[in-house]
Structure 1
Amino acid sequence: MFRWAPYPIVRITLSFMAGILLYLVLGKQFGYSLGLLAFFFGAFCLAFVLARKYKTAFSRDLSGILGLLTWFALGLAVAEQHTVRHQPSHLTHLPEAPAYYVGVVDDYILQKPGYQSTVLAVQQVQINGQWQLTTGKIQLSVPHDSEQDFELSYGDVLLVKGAPQEVAGPLNPNQFDYRAYLANKNIYHRHYLQSFQFQKIASEPPNLVLYHSIRLRRYLDALLRARINERREYGISSALILGVKDDLDNSIRQAYADTGTMHVLAVSGLHVGLIFGVLMFALKYFRQRVGQRWLGAILVMVVLWLYAFITGLSPSVLRAVLMFSLVTVGFALQRRTIIYNTVALAALVLLYINPYNLLEVGFQLSFLAVLGIVYLQPRLYKLLELRNRVLDFVWEYFTIALAAQLATFPLGLFYFHQFPVYFWLANIIVVPLATLVLYSGMIALVLNAVPGLGGLLFQVHFWMIWSMNEFNLWIQRWPEALINGIDISLFQTYLLYALMLAVILFLALKRLRYFAMVVAAVAILVVQEVWEGIRQKEQQTLAVYSVRGATGIGLVQGQQAVLLADSALSQNPGNYTFNVQPHLWQLGVHLPEFISLGNAARMLAPVQILPDSNQLLVWQGQRWLILSHAPQLQPKAGFAVDYLLLRQNVRLKPQELQTYTFKKLILDGSSAPWYRQRLHQQLDTLGISYYDVADSGAFVLTIE
């Protein structure tokens, strides 16, 4: 039977997490969390006193349950207090849009092609000539059009002209919800600025430690850039050592993602663990006396926190450093540390600091990977005993990669919709190489000023990175290296974890009821998949996607699809991947047939080119007239279409539309904002019903 007694921190952390989750489920408007916390804390204190007095099993159990409920209520209260949108002074409660606002740069500066992005913490806004104190954060983008490396710095106080806009939700089905992503960071507004719209008026860093950390990271990044001439290898070096991924080559980034080794480029627990392993090896000389153990522990923690400092104190590194610091303290106390309590304590501290960490993909994956390695890896490793040291080393790394992959497998499918088939082989080679790259790069930075030696070390560092890159590119080219297009729901993700847990419990405890749970979970998953397959084979859907500056029309029948696209969409893979592909994957379509709107007639598509170069789409009983050019044909009497689609700023007088018979007018994303705004006013005046995908999202028509 499983015993909870050795895991008090695990119980507390799970209760705290449950409180956070309940607050999020309730829609972030509970309002009674502090009262609930006070009630449970008072009840716990009373029960604790009674338990000490009467010492009965019931009184002890009651005080324990009330203690966990107190932590549950604390999670609820902390989540509510960290939701800044409820504050009366928040940006969302302003009576009207401000003319100006003042704020301080409160995050890292991210390099993007042609612009830089950061977060501005608002301090004041000007409305009707009056300044007033305001709170809130804005995702700020500024053009990068000067010779300096950074247009802004952490701590810059900016005067900005204009009003920020609320972050828009996803405009296409199943698209990544950037609004929810920013809301989890308490950011609800964004502002794209021109050079003349902002001015730096002061420098007041909110956190001096973070300010100097970012300055040091910028200095080290510039040093790497100067020493490593090839952009591809420099990008990997900066990402792996410092966590700066702004200059990562897209093809290399994709190669690491496709081989399941992207985690080596995100400075996180792996990197801290590599440093910690070397330090613990050296720490064996500090095991004799209490003073020596504490001296060794302090040295280890100083080095770990120094590494966190040079990497910009990123959340992923802080998670790992905190956890390994707790392990180091346990070593100094010579107490048998239960790693599950250590991991739980690290999670508890980080969630108390920011409960919205619970929704961060990195937070979820990192802790699941650690738990997988801690529990599964030793059991997998014992399945095979090898006397050869080299083979044993390879087997150990294989079991580590497998344990981490198994623990994060369902969540990885849910978030990334893909599975790297050769992750086990790639990690066996890439992780040791990344270890050498990390060590060589850090030593090269330390000894950079030594004549001759610094250059030699950077050359060794460069060729290690080159080898790692080429290996990943080679694996990426293997047949069936990546299975993508996997679309599972959140409920199916939970089911997969329930299945894994039931399998583990059955193998560990050998109880039939856990095997029954395995069978039940598998049955539910199979029934869901069969039902979804039947539903997808019978579906007929037409979708006009919202793609900025482009046209995309999806015709889905069963699990096959045709995508009518202009060159702006078909020649931009990123546009398709971000806006269209998630919806097609959700419908069970993996490889749609691309058809250019200009060549549709020659390719026997369901589109006819009219004499005036416009097009008529006839599909599944639906008739769409697509106007890309000024219409020169007068419709015959009785001619009617279901929908009229206007694209590419087509020149026409809105009155001309009254000669057509149609249900609704559709405006797609290929037309400019000024054109659509002007047309909105004219259509409203004429009383013509219309739907603008750029404002309202994709137009999806399900045909029964």
Structure 2
Amino acid sequence: MLRWAPYPFVRITLSFIAGIALYFLLGGQLGHGLGLLVFCFASFLAIAILALKYKSPSATDAAGILGLLTFMALGYTTVYQRTELNQPRHIAHLTTAPTHYQGVVQDYVLQKPGYQSTVLQVEQVKVNGTWQQATGKVQLSVPHDSERAYELSYGDVLLVRGAPQPVAASLNPSQFDYRAYLANKNIHHRHYLQPQQYRKIASQPSNPILYYSIQLRRQLDDLLRERVGEKREYAISSALILGVKDELDNSIRQAYADTGTMHVLAVSGLHVGLIFSVLMLVLSRFTATARQRWLGAILVLAALWGYAFVTGLSPSVLRAVLMFSLVTVGMALQRRTVIYNTIAFAALVLLYGNPYNLFDIGFQLSFLAVLGIVYLQPGFYSVLKLRNRALDLLWVSFTVSVAAQLITSPLGLYYFHQFPVYFWLANLLVVPAATAVLYTGMAALAFSWVPGLGWLLFKVHFWLIWGMNEFNLWVQRWPQSILTGIDISVGQTWLLYLLLLALILFAALKRLRYLSIAVGLVAILSVQEIWEEVQQRQQRQLIVYSLRGSTGIGLVQGQQAMVIADSTLLRNPQNFTFNVQPHLWQLGVQQPQLTSLAGSNSAPTVLLPDSNQLLVWQGQRWFILSHPPKLQPKSGFKVDFLLLRKNVRLRPGQLQQYTFGKLILDGSNAPWYRQRLRQQLDTLGIAYHDVADSGAFVLEL
């Protein structure tokens, strides 16, 4: 029987999370929820007083339930208060677009190829010639074409000409929902700026501590760039020590992802835990008196928060530092704290500060990984008793890796659609190597001013990173190193976690009913997979994907697909991976056939004398115009769709020569061309679909 008494903060945090979920389930229909919060709290006080007075067990139980309902109402109210769209002055509520706006840079500045990105907190907008107070966040993108390392800095006050645009929805099926991702950060607008479109007018950092933290991180990053040397190794060093991942090469990033060791590059709980383990040796020497214990705790806390300061006070580090700080304080108090209460209290504090953390992938994975290590790892470790210290350390590393991977696997499958097969082996070597990289890197930064010693430490640091990179690239090349194309729904993710919970309860309590539940869940998942397989074998779709500057046409029959792509898409695998591949995985297509639009024997297209093409597939006839048509269509020539690409020059009258059902504008057309042509099509009354505005065109056959 599960006893809840020792876990008060677990109950409270779960109730708070339920309140957050209730807000999104109801869509905020209860308003700010203050009335509900006051009612629950008043009822709790009344019942608690009665329980104390009459010593009634039923009244005590009722008071406990009302107390949890109060935290649930608090969760609901907190989301409402932290949702900036609920503020009446939010820029989303403006009826007239502003001509100018002013705000403060409130986030880190991220380096991207050719531009830099950050977040501006709006303070004022100019509407109809009048300045007025406003609020809201805008994701800014500014060109990076000067010799300066950063075009903008945290705290810069900017005057911007123009109006920010609402974040567009995903334009392709199953594509990553970037609008929802930004909405969870209270960002609902974007603005791509030109150099002459904004001006820095002042510097007013709202948080001086964060400002100086970012400045220090930039200085240390510059030092690593100078002393580590090679770009690949510098990028790993900066990511692992400081959390700066701007310079990470896509190939090396993919290698770490494919081997299941990407977590070592995200400064988070692992890194803080490694530092904490060393600090525990310091704390263990201060145990004789209460004064010594508190002195040791203060030293540990100073080191933990100092590391957080060096890494720019990133949310992932703050999560871990808060958790280990609570553990440190508990040790200083010499209280037998329950680790689950510590984890739950840390989650409660972070969720109260920002309830949208609940939907942050890093937040979910980090807390689940900690829970897996705390609960599952001791059981795995007890399977083997090794007397050799080196082998025992390897076994500890192995069991920690397995526990964390097991508990986070359902989320990993849902978000990333892949599973690294050799994660257990890769982590055996990469985690100790990353530990050495972290320690040598921090030592190199600390003693960089010492002649000889600083040079030696940076050399050791460099070769450790080089070896770690080469090992990951080697494992990545192993056969079946990663299983990709796994597509599961939210419901299936929950079923997998229920299955995992049932198996854990069966192993812990040795009761057959939990095994029966696990078998039932496996049966449900199996039926779902079989039904999905049957549906996929019968599907036929023709899709024109929305690809900026490119053409991509998908022909799906059963679980096989061909993607007809132009040279621009074929040269840019990332464009395909981000925009097209998730949809094909959802349809059960593992390896689509990529073929060139320019001409291929396998493509169902016919090249016409004027270099245009006719696509005939599954009874569908598509006329693809890439060049001005020079052939007069024969009488009775009819196609189902007319696809225009590459800004093909056409007179409006030429379109009336063809008989077709609908005209399609694909992503290879420029914005100015699409805008002009849409006006002509509206005048002529021709039905059309613009994939750049309306999303991918999906034809079910």
TM-score computed with the length of structure 2 as normaliser: 0.99
Question: For the residues of structure 1 that align with 2:311 and 2:596, how far apart are their CA atoms?
Answer: 47
Aligned equivalents of 1:567, 1:527: Cα separation in 2: 41
| Contact kept? 1:506, 1:514, Cα under 8 Å | yes
Q: Per-residue CA shift, 1:529-579, capped at 9, x if unaligned? A: 000111111110100000001100000000000111100111110110011
Match of 1:688 in 2: 686
Query: Where does residue 199 of structure 1 map in the other structure?
Result: 199
1:421-478 Cα shifts (integer Å, max 9, x gaps): 0000000000001001101111111111111111111111111111111111111111
Residues 141-169 of structure 1: CA deviation (Å, up to 9, x unaligned): 10111111011110000001111100001
Residue 29 of structure 1 and its aligned partner are, at CA, apart by 4.4
State the distance in 1 between where 2:43 and 2:149 align.
Answer: 58
Structure 1: gaps (5+ residues):
none
Q: Report the alpha carbon displacement of residue 397 of structure 1 after superposing the two structures with TM.
A: 0.5
What is the correspondence of 1:480-495 to structure 2 with a 5 Å cutoff? Answer: 480-495=480-495
User: What is the match of residue 642 of structure 1?
Assistant: 640
SS of residue matched to 1:58 = helix
Partner of 1:148: 148
Contact 2:32 2:81 (8 Å CA) reproduced: no
Q: 203-212 or 29-38, which moves further after superposition? A: 29-38
Instruction: Report the equivalent of 1:534.
Output: 534
For residues 595-647 of structure 1, what are the alpha-carbon distances to aligned partners after superposition, in whole Å with 9 as ceiling and x for unaligned? 111113xx142111122211111111111111111112222222211111111
Give how far 1:512 is off: 2.1
Distance 1:604 1:221, change over 3 A: closer
Could you tell me how far apart the structure 1 residues matched to 2:468 and 2:598 are?
Answer: 43
Q: Which amino acid aligns with 1:678?
A: R
Amino acid at match of 1:380: F
What does 1:77-226 correspond to in 2, within 5 Å?
77-226=77-226
Distance 1:681 1:250 in 2: 41
What is the CA-CA distance between 1:651 and the residue it aligns to? Answer: 1.1
Q: Contact between 1:84 and 1:90, CA under 8 Å: does it hold in 2?
A: yes
Distance 1:697 1:646 in 2: 15
Partner letter of residue 267 of structure 1? V
Matched letter for residue 57 of structure 1: P
Report if aligned partners of 2:413, 2:487 keep a CA contact under 8 Å in 1: yes
Alignment equivalent of 1:622, drawn from 601, 620, 623: 620
AA of the residue aligned to 1:41: F
> For structure 1, which segment, 605-614 or 64-73, has the greater mean C-alpha deviation from structure 2 after superposition?
605-614
Q: 1:172-226 CA distances to partner (integer Å, 9 max, x unpaired)?
A: 0000011000000000000000100010000000101100100110111111111
- Give the whole-Å Cα distance in 1 for the aligned partners of 2:553 and 2:220: 48
Mean Cα deviation higher: 504-513 or 106-115: 504-513
Q: Which residue is 2:668 aligned to?
A: 670
Moved more, 405-414 or 32-41: 32-41
Helix, strand or coil for the counterpart of 1:488? coil
Deviates more, 1:605-614 or 1:236-245: 605-614
Once the two structures are TM-superposed, the CA of residue 25 in structure 1 deviates from its matched residue by 2.0
Give, as a single letter, the amino acid of the residue that structure 2 aligns with 1:509. Answer: L
**Is this contact kept in 2: 1:228–1:462, CA < 8 A?**
yes
1:5-24 equivalent positions in 2, closer than 5 A: 5-24=5-24
Task: Give secondary structure in 1 for the equivalent of 2:70.
Answer: helix
Amino acid at match of 1:328: T
Tell whether the 8 Å contact from 1:28 to 1:83 is kept in structure 2 after alignment: no
2:276 pairs with 1:272: no
Contact 2:213-2:310 at 8 Å conserved across structures: yes
8 Å contact from structure 2 (residues 32, 80) kept in 1: no
Counterpart residue number, 1:546:
546
Contact in 2 for aligned 1:241/1:311 (Cα 8 Å): yes
Kindly provide the amino acid, as one letter, of the partner of residue 333 in structure 1: L
The letter of the residue matching 1:311 is T
1:471-520 Cα shifts (integer Å, max 9, x gaps): 11111111111111111000000000000000001111122221121011
Between 609-618 and 564-573, report the one with greater CA deviation. 609-618
Looking at structure 2, the residues matched to 366 and 681 of structure 1 have their Cα atoms a distance apart, in angstroms, of 51
User: Offset of 1:32 from its aligned partner?
Assistant: 4.7
Q: Which amino acid aligns with 1:256?
A: Y
1:55 Cα deviation (Å)? 1.1
* Contact in 1 for aligned 2:78/2:355 (Cα 8 Å): yes
The alignment partner of 2:285 has SS state of helix
Within a 5 Å distance, the mapping from 1:352-501 to structure 2 comes to: 352-501=352-501
Distance 1:83 1:221 in 2: 34
1:251-270 equivalent positions in 2, closer than 5 A: 251-270=251-270
For residue 33 of structure 1, report the CA deviation from its aligned partner. Answer: 1.1
Any residues of structure 2 matched to 1:324-363 within 5 Å, and which? 324-363=324-363
User: What letter corresponds to residue 575 of structure 2 in structure 1?
Assistant: N
Q: C-alpha distance in 1, partners of 2:250/2:518?
A: 41
Residues 437 and 408 from structure 1, CA distance in 2 versus in 1: closer, same or farther, beyond 3 angstroms? same
Verify the 8 A CA contact 1:410 1:497 in the aligned structure 2. Answer: yes
Code of the aligned partner of 1:140: L
Q: After superposition, what is the alpha-carbon deviation per residue over 1:262-321, rounded to whole angstroms, capped at 9, x for unaligned?
A: 000000000000010011122111111111111111110011000000000000000000
Aligned equivalents of 2:75, 2:658: Cα separation in 1: 60
SS for the counterpart of 2:656 is helix
State how far apart, in whole Å, the 2-side matches of 1:691 and 1:493 are. Answer: 35
Q: Return the letter of the residue paired with 1:257.
A: A
- 1:487-526 → structure 2 map (5 Å cutoff): 487-526=487-526
One-letter code of the match for 2:240? Answer: L
CA-to-aligned-CA distance 1:654-675 (integer Å, 9 cap, x gap): 2211121111111000111101
Number of residues of Structure 1 aligned to a counterpart in Structure 2: 701
Cα drift, residue 95 of structure 1: 1.5
**Residue type of the alignment partner of 2:116:** Q
2:71 corresponding residue in structure 1? 71
Write the distance in 2 (CA, Å) between the matches of 1:329 and 1:390: 31
- Preserved CA contact (<8 Å) 2:595 2:602: no
Counterpart position of 1:585: 585
User: In the aligned structure 2, how far is the partner of 1:129 from the partner of 1:80?
Assistant: 32
Q: Match for 1:612 among 603, 610, 613?
A: 610
2: distance between equivalents of 1:553 and 1:377?
48
Q: 1:187, 1:30 → 2: CA distance?
A: 23
Residue type of the partner of 1:103?
A: G
- Structure 1's 604 and 422: CA in aligned 2 closer, same or farther, altered over 3 A? closer
